[in-house]
Amino acid sequence: MAWARWGCCPWLVFLCALGAWGHPKAANLRGEDVRNCSISPPYLPVTAVNTTAQLTALRQQMHSQKLSAYIIPETDAHMSEYIGERDKRRAWITGFTGSAGTAVVSVGKAGLWTDSRYWTQAERQMDCNWELHKEVDITSIVTWLLAEVPAGGHVGFDPFLFSIGSWKSYYTALKNSNIQLVSITNNLVDLAWGSEKPQFPSQPIYALKEAFTGSTWEEKVSDIRSQMQKHHKGPTAVLLSALDETAWLFNLRGSDIPYNPFFYSYTLLTDSSIRLFVNKSCLDSETLKYLNSSCSGSMCVQIEDYSQVRGSVQTYASGDVKIWIGTSYTTYGLYEVIPLEKLIEDTYSPVMVTKAVKNSKEQALLRASHVRDAVAVIRYLVWLEKNVPKGTVDEFSGAELLDKFRGEEDFSSGPSFETISASGLNAALAHYSPTKEQHRKLSSDEMYLLDSGGQYWDGTTDITRTVHWGTPSAFQKEAYTRVLIGNIDLSRLVFPASTSGRMMEIFARRALWDVGLNYGHGTGHGIGNFLCVHEWPVGFQSGNIPMAKGMFTSIEPGYYQDGEFGIRIEDVAVVVEAKTKYPGSYLTFEVVSLVPYDRNLIDISLLSPEHLQYLNHYYQTIREKVGPELQQRQLQEEFQWLQRHTEPLSARALRTTSLAPLLVVSSLIILGWSV
Amino acid sequence: MAWARWGCCPWLVFLCALGAWGHPKAANLRGEDVRNCSISPPYLPVTAVNTTAQLTALRQQMHSQKLSAYIIPETDAHMSEYIGERDKRRAWITGFTGSAGTAVVSVGKAGLWTDSRYWTQAERQMDCNWELHKEVDITSIVTWLLAEVPAGGHVGFDPFLFSIGSWKSYYTALKNSNIQLVSITNNLVDLAWGSEKPQFPSQPIYALKEAFTGSTWEEKVSDIRSQMQKHHKGPTAVLLSALDETAWLFNLRGSDIPYNPFFYSYTLLTDSSIRLFVNKSCLDSETLKYLNSSCSGSMCVQIEDYSQVRGSVQTYASGDVKIWIGTSYTTYGLYEVIPLEKLIEDTYSPVMVTKAVKNSKEQALLRASHVRDAVAVIRYLVWLEKNVPKGTVDEFSGAELLDKFRGEEDFSSGPSFETISASGLNAALAHYSPTKEQHRKLSSDEMYLLDSGGQYWDGTTDITRTVHWGTPSAFQKEAYTRVLIGNIDLSRLVFPASTSGRMMEIFARRALWDVGLNYGHGTGHGIGNFLCVHEWPVGFQSGNIPMAKGMFTSIEPGYYQDGEFGIRIEDVAVVVEAKTKYPGSYLTFEVVSLVPYDRNLIDISLLSPEHLQYLNHYYQTIREKVGPELQQRQLQEEFQWLQRHTEPLSARALRTTSLAPLLVVSSLIILGWSV
């Protein structure tokens, strides 16, 4: 999956690229029925939410805290990409449900800051209590605060909803002003929300079976402690804030967050203790036993209540200790209770960096999940090929069927994100997903983009295929083929160990750039073993860490023709050693997604012999890995489809199209010509 | 030119790459006669400098300032790449003359911190007063200071020799210690050096003729003021510290710095005045008139003495002003006198950024200088082809002859850097230049790398060619050809406007990476119009600004086989608009260096039809641009050589080598085969 729903902070880097590369404009899919606050009385569409009561309740809280303003970001206390219902505070106070945006409420005004993807949605969902600011940088918010807040005024915020970076930005920008930032751990929106706020989830937390884990939690703890011992700054503890860090470390999973099998948690792993902060009631006796929670030695997990984390960290930090954190996922709520001289700051925690490199068992698990995922996707593509011409399939029902097929696979645990099932012009929209009410019929006259993934106990998947069942235009074929070339050129790149993804992602764009085309999003992201579908810090963006053997990343170039169609071809690939002619430490990618590309959209004349060789080798791999799986399940129709769609591609098409250059070369060879 | 002599701070980024990419080890060219301080008495080679007197004199100065230590970087007050003799303070105090390294003297000890390129040189030049620290990071220096300096002790430094970044690093690292950094503008090494220190230069400063300037200084001043007016933070002044900023702004040149036509200077350009800080005695009446220096209006240049800059800026900063600076080239000596709230900080000043984009006249000037430079280089290559087989040419005498040929070109103003003339294994050394005493004979049995450039009134040039007059090995040909492919792949890249060089430089490496080869330096740098040969902020490194039409950059991949040979192919190219099939704002490069590559080293079988097409087009351009110039000067032999060396290359060689893949394709075409 590319940009859609990538809401948490690191993905902002990715989103920013949208502006830089000239993405298709965020069209207003559902009409232009937006509010008009400039007339009297104001016009409000039926979709607008009356927020007067919410604002009144919040301002009462602000008043009792003597605040002139209060900042409400859309995030949770773990900087999660997806957030639970109870963390949708900004949506509750504004009415606006988009995944990115910050609200600020002063005594007399209320403002929302969001990016261009969401402007129309905000104008449809917000009432006239709210100003819409079409900017997202903190400077713009601070400029507004400087005008709204009286000298000496206090601006409150929940430190658990501020990344360290956000806090530093606000703090620096307000440094020379007469306005003071006030950290208040008791969230004021929660107080205003009161009993209406969704409850803290109480779903069980469970241990993964050993068959689905790369190492035991004890091995992982020992490894992280060994890294602590080797660290020249002598950390005595590692503090984990991201939900996937704790889930990975203990091989535990939960269901507090949509699409991610996580549970609200923190971990303080010290040199002599392991302290897990969770909702204790979610742990049954079996899990407590699994965690050795009844003892108190260095390999026993002490369970503390989730709400105690700040106090516990503060108490620990009062000793002669050094706490190692990853600044990307630690909030100011914990940062501010640790004295600076006791902090060891890296961008990512050692757990985040260790998790990024899958060991051989984890690699095998992820590969296996991709074989089964391919079966589900192929079943769906076969079904579409038969049913789309009948005119009975729409984007939403299609996505539902795909979910069903995935659900029938072994170890399935639901989708890894909301399926992007987009036909025709909808595929050019930046963050489109169909709904039961709003969707488009699939047709043989249009391209169809399907970006979806599954959570399985052994791995998380994410794949995009774009198809056309009729007669695509020459331009559609050219654009598709150039996107495919980008995918191939990056996938087959040989590069030195430790090259950053950012440096190499241009290979995914070159064939498009050659003719003046491009795409407005990043080129790929890490992926987990039954963890995040967007797993940092692996990928092709500037914040990503260098590529290393055993990392998994998506490779997903695209092309979007505003108002007409969208193309994306996404595979997941693992970083493997490359055998080079001369010795050296070189790497390359091996694609583990196993679904053939749409032959109907490939203009073979644009492919070099190397591209054809690569493609045919990939198709051979698909046949070898997915074919037996289909046969074993007696999915004969799918097996035949797979055979047809993985026939080796040849240069035959060259006869009629761009044969000329090669023929010249051939002639020169035959004639022995030289100047 | 690649890494050699890139000493000033931005180039450190480039140098760091050496480590990352595994460059050839810095061999000790001149034997291993190094000091041995571990025996008694110590052994000192004849090259070692007795620094006891220097250290005694400096420590007297430190004592009178109550300092426990003093830091001596190797730079000047303008963060220049090349520094004048009078700025070689670190060399004077240590004996070590390498271009990179920092000395720190405490009451009882003295230490030098430098990188691996210079370790042997330092051991040969330093006496046993000095510890050699084989690290360069400030953390290492601070760790040493923390051990050497007593609690409450003061560490002195000259703020004019500290970049803002260095100062912040030292300041942050010492923040929680009991040691205080003390900024002392009166340089203590200068006081110790006394009358022996070279005088402040008094060479004349002169105005460039209008024919050699892109705009008048008045136009440039108006343009910068217009940028000030449009800036949302409302700067009232721009402060210029880099020497090429002032030289460019006023179209003035001097000769205070080796290889660069600069004069010591600062400029404070305000909304109502222009203040030029120089050695007044270097300006004659004609230049004073040229600068309207007799009036005091907003378009009159007020001349103030160079030494007054700090006081003048401080006085100006006491008013209701905002001073816009580029932090990369401003030293702490000026930074510390401007209150933070009156600073507008960008990485590069508006002059630096404006200068980076050459206007059409500047482009024409730079192109013209490259035509004449090609004549000089071709004359030299022709001469080498005749004389090397006689065994009478060495690296040093060759370089001298090339300088002579360049000197005979119109508008010549000397070399733009010390020529790298390196035969055989010397070409694999990171910073090799021959001397009268130490050089190698050129031979038909070895490769020869020539990296050189000229200063001309219309432009600065920089070109590298690698040649072999005998029979290169298959590996040498392969390596050369892959370097050439890298040069071509990057030169012909089509990319969207504003793409960063860092993102695209991988194209210069891909053909090498494919077989497990690489090079340990950056891929290119900006270049000026009779200014710096390494002109920031253009280039392919992470600190460079995005590419824009009208920028000039070198493109210079290489390959170095330690102890055997070195290859680099460097051209200067201008960023031009690309015509793409579909409309869009796309750019590409046009190479303006006009010397053919060595056919003897090209393995044509490795080139694609696109590479051959590109090469032949380039050769055609050389013929069209340089041919008439040679004929006009009646350089018939050179003209014939040029014709021979720019014959179109054909795929003939394919017959015997890698014909197979293409033949397969041809056969498929002919047979109409498809699977």
Both A381 and A296 in one domain: the answer is no
Amino acid (one-letter) located at A499: T
Split at pLDDT 50, 70, 90, the class of A382 is very high
Strand B420-423's sheet: what is its strand order? B420-423, B447-452, B463-468
Model confidence pLDDT, tens digit, residues B511-532: 999 999 999 999 999 999 999 9
Name the residue facing B675 among A516, A647, A675 (closest C-beta). Answer: A647
Name the residue facing B672 among A652, A668, A669 (closest C-beta). Answer: A652
CA distance B510 to A504: 10
Both B309 and B386 in one domain: the answer is no
Model confidence pLDDT, tens digit, residues B528-557: 999 999 999 999 999 999 999 999 999 999
The more confidently predicted of residues B306 and A135 is B306
Interface contact flag, A650 B668, Cβ < 8 Å: yes
C-alpha B301 chain-centroid distance: 30
Interface contact flag, A516 B652, Cβ < 8 Å: no
Tokens of A621: 């791999």
Both A325 and A395 in one domain: the answer is no
The residue-averaged pLDDT of B221-249 equals 97
Question: B657, B669, B670, B671: best mutation site toward chain A, by most A Cβ within 10 Å?
Answer: B669
Is B341 part of the contact surface with chain A (CB cutoff 8 Å)? yes
Residues of B in contact with A669 (CB under 8 A): 651, 654-655, 659, 662-663, 666
Q: Which long-range contacts (CB under 8 A, 24 or more apart) does B115-123 make?
A: B115/B15, B116/B25, B116/B26, B117/B18, B117/B26, B117/B430, B117/B431, B118/B26, B119/B26, B120/B26, B120/B28, B120/B32, B120/B34, B121/B96, B121/B97, B122/B94, B122/B96, B122/B98, B123/B34, B123/B35
Residue A670 is assigned to a structural domain of this protein: no
Which range is least confidently modeled, A177-191, A379-393, B169-183, B578-592? B169-183
The helix/strand count (H/E) of chain B reads as 21, 26
The reported pLDDT for the residue numbered A139 is: 85
Both A406 and A311 in one domain: the answer is no
Mean pLDDT of chain A: 92
Interface contact flag, A652 B673, Cβ < 8 Å: yes
Residue A630 is assigned to a structural domain of this protein: yes
Domain-ending residue, one of B164, B196, B228: B196
The reported pLDDT for the residue numbered B53 is: 98
In 3-state terms chain B splits into helix, strand, coil percentages (rounded to 5) of 40, 20, 40
Do the Cβ atoms of B276 and B304 come closer than 8 Å? yes
- B208, B214, B220, B226 alpha-carbon torsion, rounded to 10°: 180
pLDDT of B24 > 90? The answer is no
Residue B673 is assigned to a structural domain of this protein: no
The reported pLDDT for the residue numbered A651 is: 77
**DSSP-assigned letter for residue A530:** S
Question: A146, A178, A541, A582: best mutation site toward chain B, by most B Cβ within 10 Å?
Answer: A582
User: Which H or E element spans position B244?
Assistant: helix B243-250
**DSSP-assigned letter for residue B546:** P
Model confidence pLDDT, tens digit, residues A447-459: 999 999 999 999 9
Strand B266-270's sheet: what is its strand order? B301-305, B274-278, B266-270, B237-240, B323-326, B343-346
Both A307 and A226 in one domain: the answer is yes
The CATH code of the domain that includes A307 is 3.40.350.10
Mean pLDDT of chain B: 92
Domain-ending residue, one of B178, B196, B214: B196
Both B351 and B364 in one domain: the answer is no
Name the residue facing A655 among B583, B659, B672 (closest C-beta). Answer: B672
Model confidence pLDDT, tens digit, residues B145-166: 999 999 999 999 999 999 999 9
Pairing label, strands B110-113, B102-106: antiparallel
The CATH code of the domain that includes B489 is 3.90.230.10
Interface contact flag, A580 B510, Cβ < 8 Å: no
The reported pLDDT for the residue numbered A430 is: 66
The reported pLDDT for the residue numbered A2 is: 62
Model confidence pLDDT, tens digit, residues B60-108: 999 999 999 999 999 999 999 999 999 999 999 999 999 899 999 999 9
Pairing label, strands A343-346, A323-326: parallel
Split at pLDDT 50, 70, 90, the class of A623 is very high
Residue B502 is assigned to a structural domain of this protein: yes
C-alpha A112 chain-centroid distance: 24
- A25, A453, A534, A88 alpha-carbon torsion, rounded to 10°: 70
- What ipTM was predicted for this assembly? 0.88
Backbone phi and psi for residue B328, each to the nearest 5 degrees, phi listed first: -65, -30
CA distance B601 to A500: 32
Domain-ending residue, one of A321, A336, A355: A355
User: Which H or E element spans position B482?
Assistant: helix B474-491
Interface contact flag, B664 A609, Cβ < 8 Å: yes
Model confidence pLDDT, tens digit, residues B435-486: 999 999 999 999 999 999 999 999 999 999 999 999 999 999 999 999 999 9
Residue where the block lists tokens 């006496």: B127
- Tell me the longest C-alpha to C-alpha distance in chain B: 92
CA distance A73 to A58: 15
Residue B10 is assigned to a structural domain of this protein: no
Is A674 part of the contact surface with chain B (CB cutoff 8 Å)? yes
The residue-averaged pLDDT of A227-255 equals 97
Give the number of other CB atoms < 10 A from CB of residue A505: 23
Beta strand spans in A351-475 (E): 412-415, 420-423, 447-452, 454-456, 459-460, 463-468
Name the residue facing A586 among B516, B665, B666 (closest C-beta). Answer: B516
Both A191 and A266 in one domain: the answer is no
Do the Cβ atoms of A424 and A444 come closer than 8 Å? no
Is B234 part of the contact surface with chain A (CB cutoff 8 Å)? no
Is B655 part of the contact surface with chain A (CB cutoff 8 Å)? yes
Split at pLDDT 50, 70, 90, the class of A671 is very low
Name the residue facing A516 among B518, B581, B648 (closest C-beta). Answer: B581
**Cβ-count burial B35-65 (b if 16+ within 10 Å, e if not):** bebeeeeeebeeebbebeebbebbbebbeee
Both A159 and A261 in one domain: the answer is no
Name the residue facing B584 among A516, A580, A674 (closest C-beta). Answer: A516
CA distance A621 to A160: 47
Residues of A in contact with B514 (CB under 8 A): 494, 580
For residue B272, give its domain range: 206-355
Residue in B328, B329, B330, B299 with CA at minimum distance from that of residue B313: B330
Do the Cβ atoms of B597 and B511 come closer than 8 Å? no
Is B584 part of the contact surface with chain A (CB cutoff 8 Å)? yes
Chain A closest-CA separation from residue B547 CA (Å): 13
Residue A664 is assigned to a structural domain of this protein: no
pLDDT of A532 > 60? The answer is yes
Model confidence pLDDT, tens digit, residues B258-300: 999 999 999 999 999 999 999 999 999 999 999 999 999 999 9
Interface contact flag, B663 A669, Cβ < 8 Å: yes
Share of chain A above pLDDT 90, in %: 86
Residue A92 is assigned to a structural domain of this protein: yes
Do the Cβ atoms of A249 and A267 come closer than 8 Å? yes
Chain B closest-CA separation from residue A581 CA (Å): 5
Q: Which residues face A112 on adjacent strands? A: A103, A132
Split at pLDDT 50, 70, 90, the class of A350 is very high
pLDDT of B671 > 50? The answer is no
Residue in A33, A48, A27 with CA at minimum distance from that of residue A440: A27
pLDDT of A3 > 90? The answer is no
The reported pLDDT for the residue numbered A149 is: 96
What residues 423-452 of chain B have any CB closer than 8 A to a CB of chain A?
Answer: none
Is B19 part of the contact surface with chain A (CB cutoff 8 Å)? no
Both B72 and B145 in one domain: the answer is yes
Residue in A342, A309, A247, A303 with CA at minimum distance from that of residue A77: A309
The reported pLDDT for the residue numbered B176 is: 73
The more confidently predicted of residues A174 and A617 is A617
Chain A closest-CA separation from residue B38 CA (Å): 29
Residue B650 is assigned to a structural domain of this protein: no
Q: Which long-range contacts (CB under 8 A, 24 or more apart) does B281-287 make?
A: B281/B202, B282/B201, B282/B202, B282/B203, B282/B204, B282/B205, B282/B254, B283/B204, B283/B205, B284/B204, B286/B207, B287/B204, B287/B205, B287/B206, B287/B207, B287/B252
Both B393 and B326 in one domain: the answer is no
Split at pLDDT 50, 70, 90, the class of B4 is very low
Q: Which residues face A237 on adjacent strands? A: A270, A323
Chain A closest-CA separation from residue B17 CA (Å): 12
Is A19 part of the contact surface with chain B (CB cutoff 8 Å)? no
Tally of domains within chain B: 3
Mapped onto helix, strand or coil, the DSSP state of residue A385 is helix
The residue-averaged pLDDT of A480-487 equals 98
Both A378 and A441 in one domain: the answer is yes
Both A585 and A473 in one domain: the answer is yes
What residues 311-340 of chain B have any CB closer than 8 A to a CB of chain A?
Answer: 340
| Residue A392 exposure: Cα atoms within 13 Å on the Cβ side | 7
